[in-house]
Structure 1
């Protein structure tokens, strides 16, 4: 037993020595491995790893520019930028996007539409760019996200400037709105200009002047920790803000036009005849442009899109209507200038017109006729028979030539995102468009602005400004010349005999002043300024000639005739030229025009009266 308990010291020493040497060898190998690895990392891969380290520590962030503001003629804001808090996500910092979105859905209210749109945008954007998920967070939502931000890497609450339209629906069709960039736009855009922003001008002035309103983005280098929290800004290049726009539009006049059209489907376009500046461009019904800025919901958009009254439709520039009798002053000028008839030419109106050798009767609106009628009386009474007669004498190609001089049948070039050209027919047009010859009966009805002829309210207002100027053609403009906005192009002139202008304008004055004028009983009373105008009634549904008048009255709402009115005032020194269209209400346009002209001219007349009184008092005191 004693021998068994005696220790074998040499054996133990050998075992200990073996273990020590083994440990030494392992330590040497490990140290060698570490040295080799350190050498490889710090020497061989230094440049690559240093770059990656800097990229993890330092990030380049785009700083979006501030969008330019839009003002009316008197400096009142029509489009501004307001601060708002936005929930954003940076894709490269998120490990599981679906999980992150689910967690955020527990903290803030997210519509499925928002989530779907975000998923489309986030994978189209650069991985290091923040992509908005939800705009306009409430204080409660901001607090919830902030408390949980430590477990949601890549999620941030950012303060951003959001476009806001203080006038809401008043300027919707003229100013337009901005909205989220869609896939089609993204393919065409310069991504360097739009990195950091997700909005773009969609309609109206916002879209037309997108390039100057946008500005140019800046950037900043930021140092962040492992969680992505910004520690400090290392370098910053400030963005260049967009340029401001000042418009000719007058907010007070726009409100007056919108109120005059309230409850109606229609449009008003008013110009300053001297400059071509658009004083008002109103279309009703309208809509709140703020709904589109951060993305409109599908249900809300569907309600607007499917509304039978078409609030999204800009009737002022896109609405193409038969100009009807508003065309008659221009047809009269064409007949005089082309030497088709003299100013004293007259016919005996029996209530209808017939082409030689034909039985069909083209009716005058007054069934019994107006008897002996010259041009002035024909304009005042809106006599159809007279204009049937001179239209046939001129022929459609002469009518086409002269109407084109006034800008009808072609785009005016207004600085707005969308405008339709209307239609001024000719023989060549019909052969090309319809593959058919032109018939004499089509010339007859062209003389009163019916048939194929179409015009927008903007075109009619522009043509009326030519009448007001006695031949000087001005190009309509919304934006005043300024930074990024070119000056108004040089004026053109439609050469006509001065007597011809006076003859036609005399007829237009009698429309309002003569007791038998077609607008006299609606606006002719208590006028404090002179007006030259012309009414028009555009048929929506053709009525057979043998139908009774009482039967023709029983038409559905959307089948009733449109009412039109063009005018300029004061006649001696025109300060406004306008065109009004009211759909399916043949009598309302004149009253709308009176309210708009009163809103523009009466304050100016009152100012002149006060100035005269003050001047008179001063002279009296001096004496």
Structure 2
């Protein structure tokens, strides 16, 4: 048997084991406590600045403050472009956990139709600078704002911002001249100064809004705000105020602009009026127009498609981009070229049998009056718009001298100082034709150019500018739309102004002006009915531009042609003759004769500018044009 003493516990042994375990536990506890204290010391002492900065970044946010866009006024202080308060929906993608879910929720809350919802999603994914708000929707209504406020807790990163939105009170009349602002796209975002445009969602897209974008926009500011854990603003900690854009005062006269648009009466065409001495553009209308306010907030797909597919091309700025044969409106300029080059003299006459023939050529280039005007000198050639005189003159000048002299008046060049998107149109030459068609220049083409047909193309602004230079007796003043930028006057004399035109004999101007006056006031003048009751001296020139060429023995008959194949009606004029205050160019597409369908419009513009009376009665003008239609021959 085993000894029972060996089964008893040993207190000494148990105590020794306990002490070892307790010491080991104490060592572990102290080691862990030391490690924890060391980590706390490292975080709170060594890394203090780092975590303080991180904490501030989570609590304090820097937000951009977009500047207020400058206003636009007409020459008399009438507001043409203003800023109206509105509410915009923005989204900061970096603060949104699930973008698709958020967008779906927003579409439901805003009750957007399918087409708008698709555009809404596209805008949310457009290129944007990090942590900058992307504009999802503009001009929210009260119902949308209320529904967004109720669901605000479900939409982290989404904000409703109160901002000023561009508005054009006379959108349709001013659309082409003013242009419009629109949302900044990805391409524009890449080239814009990120500091200057921080928080800005809109930029000038066309017209003076585009040309004077830098001045109108201003400089963005910044503000520091304290936010809660959800990113909502609690209070403002500091700010650097934005610099507002400069106000722009234009040379345009709102009443003249509205009159020009009314005179065109929905027909396709353009009217441009310029003050010759200063180059101030008083009116620059392209018809039909469009509602430019639609483009500010983003035009819907159906409306934009309707504008694009409209055969009348309302988006097309005819005043600066429309290319038209100038027709007989260029005859005064050719007469001056002939005098300057010594090809003709003021009293020299030619006999017009009703046509002109080149040497050794059987083709007859016909006058508009088929039996001819008989003996014609310079003044009568302008008054009756004799084609044969100018066929002969163009042939004597040749295309080289003709091109040089017409370019001096601005044809074939961009004439405006601050007219965005202007076309140079076309003043043809030998070199141009060789480069374009790889063909030589033919004498018959010179004859066509001599009556403003063939390859020659002008814009209404070019024709008005050349008329202003003519009225100034060769003194060039480049046309401009801005009169004052902020408090700074836009100078009349601009550094890129073309050289003045100087003639050997100043009396030659008078002879040409006399012929132009006879167009309106003479017994044979093509626009003599326009001069009835005229209270001042006025010089002008009608023009009829062919849309297609007639054959050798074909006769033009407007009634047999489709409306869009009929001739364009043109007229250029300035007044008063002795001290010109206004120069006007009118082009009405497919209207017929310029002396009938354009001259009355030019007269109405000069009356409105020069006479202290109520604006012209448009209904009376329409009746006068109907009476003249077919009763006054000429082009």
Q: In 2, Cα distance between the equivalents of 1:250 and 1:344?
A: 41
Aligned to 1:387, the other structure's residue is in SS state: helix
1:574 aligns with 2:558: no
2:381 corresponds to which residue?
Answer: 378
Aligned to 1:193, the other structure's residue is in SS state: coil
Q: In 2, Cα distance between the equivalents of 1:259 and 1:80?
A: 23
2:491 corresponds to which residue?
Answer: 487
- Describe the shift of the 1:498–1:512 C-alpha distance in structure 2 as closer, same or farther (beyond 3 A): same
Question: How many positions carry a matched residue from both structures?
Answer: 593
Q: In 1, Cα distance between the equivalents of 2:418 and 2:315?
A: 19
Cα deviation, 1:422-451, whole Å, max 9, x if unaligned, reads 211222322233222111111111110111
- The equivalences for 1:39-58 within 5 A come to 39-58=41-60
- Describe the shift of the 1:485–1:48 C-alpha distance in structure 2 as closer, same or farther (beyond 3 A): farther
2:627 corresponds to which residue?
Answer: none
2:464 corresponds to which residue?
Answer: 461
Runs of 4+ in 1 over 4 A off after TM superposition: 13-33, 483-486
* Residues 114 and 134, structure 1, Cα contact 8 Å, conserved in 2: no
Q: In 2, Cα distance between the equivalents of 1:371 and 1:248?
A: 46
* Residues 92 and 133, structure 2, Cα contact 8 Å, conserved in 1: yes
- Describe the shift of the 1:19–1:309 C-alpha distance in structure 2 as closer, same or farther (beyond 3 A): farther
Give the alignment's TM-score, normalised by structure 1: 0.91
1:451 corresponds to which residue?
Answer: 454
* Residues 263 and 601, structure 2, Cα contact 8 Å, conserved in 1: yes
Q: In 2, Cα distance between the equivalents of 1:557 and 1:16?
A: 115
1:564 corresponds to which residue?
Answer: 570
Aligned to 2:611, the other structure's residue is in SS state: helix
Cα deviation, 1:186-244, whole Å, max 9, x if unaligned, reads 22222221111021111000000111111111101111111111122112111111111
1:345 aligns with 2:352: no
Alignment counterpart, residue 502 of structure 1, candidates 505, 510, 513:
510
Aligned to 2:196, the other structure's residue is in SS state: helix
Q: In 1, Cα distance between the equivalents of 2:288 and 2:537?
A: 30
Offset, 1:52: 1.2
1:116 corresponds to which residue?
Answer: 121
* Residues 114 and 133, structure 1, Cα contact 8 Å, conserved in 2: no
Higher mean alpha-carbon deviation, 594-603 vs 449-458, is at: 594-603
1:65 corresponds to which residue?
Answer: 67
Q: In 1, Cα distance between the equivalents of 2:95 and 2:276?
A: 59
- Describe the shift of the 1:141–1:19 C-alpha distance in structure 2 as closer, same or farther (beyond 3 A): farther
Offset, 1:515: 3.0
Aligned to 1:236, the other structure's residue is in SS state: strand
- The equivalences for 1:155-166 within 5 A come to 155-166=158-169
Alignment counterpart, residue 598 of structure 1, candidates 600, 607, 610:
607
Q: In 1, Cα distance between the equivalents of 2:317 and 2:216?
A: 22
Higher mean alpha-carbon deviation, 426-435 vs 564-573, is at: 426-435
Offset, 1:155: 1.4
* Residues 271 and 460, structure 2, Cα contact 8 Å, conserved in 1: yes
Alignment counterpart, residue 217 of structure 1, candidates 192, 210, 220:
220
Q: In 2, Cα distance between the equivalents of 1:525 and 1:572?
A: 19
Aligned to 1:450, the other structure's residue is in SS state: coil
* Residues 283 and 315, structure 1, Cα contact 8 Å, conserved in 2: yes
Q: In 1, Cα distance between the equivalents of 2:109 and 2:32?
A: 50
Higher mean alpha-carbon deviation, 32-41 vs 229-238, is at: 32-41
1:534 corresponds to which residue?
Answer: 541
Question: RMSD between aligned alpha carbons?
Answer: 2.3
* Residues 326 and 543, structure 2, Cα contact 8 Å, conserved in 1: yes
Alignment counterpart, residue 296 of structure 1, candidates 281, 292, 299:
299
Q: In 2, Cα distance between the equivalents of 1:82 and 1:47?
A: 45
Any unmatched runs of 5+ in structure 1?
1-7, 607-623
- Describe the shift of the 1:58–1:494 C-alpha distance in structure 2 as closer, same or farther (beyond 3 A): same
* Residues 396 and 426, structure 1, Cα contact 8 Å, conserved in 2: yes
Aligned to 1:526, the other structure's residue is in SS state: coil
1:514 corresponds to which residue?
Answer: 522
2:256 corresponds to which residue?
Answer: 253
Aligned to 1:132, the other structure's residue is in SS state: strand
Aligned to 2:464, the other structure's residue is in SS state: helix
- The equivalences for 1:82-93 within 5 A come to 82-93=84-95
Cα deviation, 1:129-168, whole Å, max 9, x if unaligned, reads 2222111111111111111112221111110111111111
Any unmatched runs of 5+ in structure 2?
1-8, 616-635
* Residues 520 and 527, structure 2, Cα contact 8 Å, conserved in 1: yes
